[in-house]
């Protein structure tokens, strides 16, 4: 790979690093999708896979004609690996700013100056926090409401319970002597 090929890869990597943000911006502001508070996480989640489309097109036009198949495979692994990492980091950065109480309290305080302690306690009640999380789980189809009760949704079995079981199984495997 020569210097101009490396420059093209660098441009793709840098583009891939900001692409999740740009796609999310386009989906939420340009197309006005995922505007409801419960749907905002869904927009951030989808920005990663949707961003693969323009990145794949750019890769096809900019890299494939320049390099051989072996170099293209390693370049693809590198570019799309960086993109996957960027999407992961972007989702968690967005998720932190969207849901973290500490961040919201700091932003609220910065906007209005001081925050009375009783206002924080009244605004961030345990019941309200649980209600927000349940609303998000229903919006993401991890949970469903049937006959006034929450039940695991179709996505919840694979998206929520299976990874949790895998993590706890791995934990029991790595730390066998620990009690439950």
- Is 127 inside a domain boundary? no
Q: Quote the number of domains for the chain.
A: 2
Kindly state whether residues 162 and 78 are assigned to the same domain. no
Q: Does residue 180 surpass a pLDDT of 60?
A: no
Kindly state whether residues 67 and 149 are assigned to the same domain. no
Q: Which residue has the higher pLDDT, 78 or 2?
A: 78
- Is 15 inside a domain boundary? yes
Q: Does residue 33 surpass a pLDDT of 70?
A: yes
For 15-29, give the DSSP string.
HHHHHHHHHHHIIII
Range scoring the smallest mean pLDDT among 1-15, 52-66, 144-158, 165-179 = 165-179
Average pLDDT across the chain, whole number: 82
- Is 134 inside a domain boundary? no
- Is 168 inside a domain boundary? yes
So what's the pLDDT on residue 79? 92
- Is 169 inside a domain boundary? yes
Kindly state whether residues 161 and 86 are assigned to the same domain. no
User: Can you tell me the mean pLDDT for 144-160?
Assistant: 80
Kindly state whether residues 91 and 177 are assigned to the same domain. no
User: Which of 123, 148, 144 has its CA nearest to residue 134?
Assistant: 144
User: Which of 40, 157, 155, 158 has its CA nearest to residue 91?
Assistant: 40
Domain that includes residue 21, residue range: 3-99
Look-up of token digits 């999310």: 24
Domain boundary among 49, 65, 99: 99
* Band (138; pLDDT cuts 50, 70, 90): confident
So what's the pLDDT on residue 179? 59
- Is 113 inside a domain boundary? no
Give the Cα separation of 166 and 173 in Å (integer).
Answer: 10
- Is 128 inside a domain boundary? no
Kindly state whether residues 170 and 82 are assigned to the same domain. no
pLDDT in tens, 35-78: 887 677 788 888 999 999 999 999 999 888 877 778 888 888 99
- Is 110 inside a domain boundary? no
């Amino acid at each position: 790979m020569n210097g101009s090929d490396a420059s093209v890869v660098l441009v793709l990597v840098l583009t891939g690093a900001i692409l999740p943000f740009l796609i999310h911006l386009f989906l939420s502001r340009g197309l006005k999708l995922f505007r409801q508070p419960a749907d905002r996480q869904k927009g951030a989640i989808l920005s990663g896979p949707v961003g693969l489309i323009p990145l794949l097109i750019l890769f096809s036009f900019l890299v494939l004609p320049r390099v051989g198949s072996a170099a293209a495979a390693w370049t693809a692994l590198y570019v799309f690996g960086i993109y996957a990492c960027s999407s992961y980091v972007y989702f968690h950065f967005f998720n932190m700013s969207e849901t973290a109480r500490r961040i919201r309290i700091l932003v609220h305080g910065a906007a209005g100056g001081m925050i009375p302690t009783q206002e924080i306690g009244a605004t961030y009640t345990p019941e309200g926090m649980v209600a927000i999380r349940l609303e998000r789980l229903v919006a993401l189809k991890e949970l469903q409401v049937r006959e006034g009760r929450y039940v695991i949704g179709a996505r919840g079995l694979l998206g929520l319970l299976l990874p949790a079981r895998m993590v706890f199984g791995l934990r029991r495997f790595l730390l066998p002597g620990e009690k439950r």
